[in-house]
Structure 1
């Protein structure tokens, strides 16, 4: 539970740093399509950092191991989804875009797992 809260806060900070880097540091270095890709990565990074905080709070509230599992699935999805997009922009390796949907699928599974865990805990 506490680890999800710590991961959530650290990733929220990292998402803001990445967003600022994209807006200021990459503006003159990559084209507008890649800037949009970076913005998508940092947006989803921040949304799911907040989701980790939510999972941590809910896990404390309900004490359900399934909620913690959902948090870890969300974390894995966030790393793969946003991480693959960040790397795509920084390296220009377009094949990384093929990995991104795996992260998106993990994010969906994480949200559904959280819903199931809450249903079972309530």
Structure 2
């Protein structure tokens, strides 16, 4: 599905831009702790941007098919990026510790998305 390919490419672009921003502009402004949190946000955003692209390709080429599990997986990955990486970006810049309590919600979205990819693949095998 082109939507997930486009969403993945946009998120990959943002991850590269934020990675460079963190390495250059924030290096002198953030403590090591918050810079490491920023880097974690960038890494997970990139991993799941690639996941979105893969889901889009799987759906577009009918390798697994346009099954609802893949669609749900894509939307959950996108939601996970916003919640997981987004909360970590804001935490890094603001130091507001309560944002760390939101981050696991994004992690659960990521985990659920990957489980749905597994379900879609297993269903295709049968």
**TM-score for the superposition, normalised by structure 1:** 0.96
Let me know the Cα RMSD of the aligned residues. 0.9
The answer to whether 1:101 aligns with 2:114 is: no
Q: How far, CA to CA, are the matches of 1:40 and 1:49 in structure 2?
A: 14
Structure 1, gaps ≥5 residues long: none
The answer to whether 1:7 aligns with 2:7 is: yes
Contact 1:64-1:121 within 8 A present in 2 as well: no
**TM-score for the superposition, normalised by structure 2:** 0.93
Q: 4+ residue runs of structure 1 moved beyond 2 angstroms? A: none
1:39 is matched with which residue? Answer: 39
How much has 1:66 moved relative to structure 2?
Answer: 1.8
Aligned length: 122
Structure 2, gaps ≥5 residues long: none
